[in-house]
Structure 1
Amino acid sequence: MAAAALNLRQNYSLYAIPAAWILSLAPHFYAVQLGKFDNRNPRSYTKSLESDQSIDAETKGRIQRAEGAQQNGFENVGLFAAAVVAGNIAKLDNWTLNALTGGYLASRVLYNLLYINNTTDGAANARSAVFVSGIAMIFTLFIKAGNALKGQL
């Protein structure tokens, strides 16, 4: 239904950049509601968990994994944004831009869920595979852009 509401012939790729940033931040908001977050010293949040006896070990792990998911998202959102801009500069077709940026956003949603809920080696391996697939979409954008611009610069 939502896909039917979108005109997929339009280029939505630039909208994916702020969406990726929001998806990077989302795990932090989840983690904050699980524990005792001190906004005066936000970077000490996961460290302060170690001595907090009021939070059980499972919740502490979930908070730490959510914060890790947030950090991972912010670590690669710049690479994603650069790839999207490169794809637009190269005038890649809208279907390619939409498919790769939409696929990347979907990989980030799945990555966050797998990271936060990970308690097994299998889930950790799935998370890593999803991460690599998202990075592959970024690299695909760069390669397609490079191929399109070959000889033009």
Structure 2
Amino acid sequence: MTNANWCVLIACILPMATVGLAKVASRGADSYNNKRPRDWVAGLTGWKSRANAAQLNGFEALPLFIAAVVLAQQAHADQASIDMLAISFIAVRLVYIAVYLANIHILRTLVWISGLGISIAILLLS
């Protein structure tokens, strides 16, 4: 499996891990309720609510990233370039999660644009 393929797997897991932070940190009346997860999410505030929003955005970012990696590999683009960009995408997504949780909205937007640009760059390799 290539580094880019590993990055696809990581990108698929990141959204669930992001909201997992909020689930693990919830205690008492705020405890995660697996019987009614949507109700639990609806009651979140602060960084836990932002963790859920970052999760949703992570899922939104997946289709373009996955398609870009697959199409670039099918086109036999330079694998080292695909790998480097895919690793960059994961790094940017980790920064995105951090700035989202920290509520630094302007930086979050800039980091999001960077992730989009990386996915487009991978796609253009094809």
TM-score by length of 1: 0.75
After superposing on structure 2, the runs of 4+ consecutive aligned residues of structure 1 that deviate more than 4 Å are none
Residues 1:47 and 2:42 aligned together: yes
- Distance in 2 of aligned mates of 1:89 and 1:61: 42
One of 92, 97, 120 as aligned partner of 1:107: 92
Pairs aligned (count): 122
Q: How big is the shift at 1:34?
A: 2.3
**Deviation string, structure 1 residues 34-90 (Cα, Å, up to 9, x no partner):** 2211111112222234xxxxxxxxxx3011000000010011112211110011001
Moved more, 36-45 or 102-111: 36-45
**Deviation string, structure 1 residues 80-111 (Cα, Å, up to 9, x no partner):** 11110011001111221111100000011000
Question: Any conservation in 2 of the 1:11–1:97 contact (CA below 8 Å)?
Answer: no
Residues 1:125 and 2:106 aligned together: yes
Residues 1:25 and 2:25 aligned together: no
The answer for the alignment partner of 1:89 in structure 2 is 74
Q: What secondary structure, in the 3-state scheme, does the structure 1 residue paired with 2:15 have?
A: helix
Greater helix share, structure number: 2
One of 109, 112, 117 as aligned partner of 1:136: 117
Question: Any conservation in 2 of the 1:92–1:144 contact (CA below 8 Å)?
Answer: yes
The answer for the alignment partner of 1:68 in structure 2 is 53
- Bigger radius of gyration among the two: 1
Q: How big is the shift at 1:26?
A: 1.3
How large is the Cα RMSD of the aligned pairs?
A: 1.4
- Distance in 2 of aligned mates of 1:43 and 1:91: 42
Identical residues among aligned pairs (%): 30
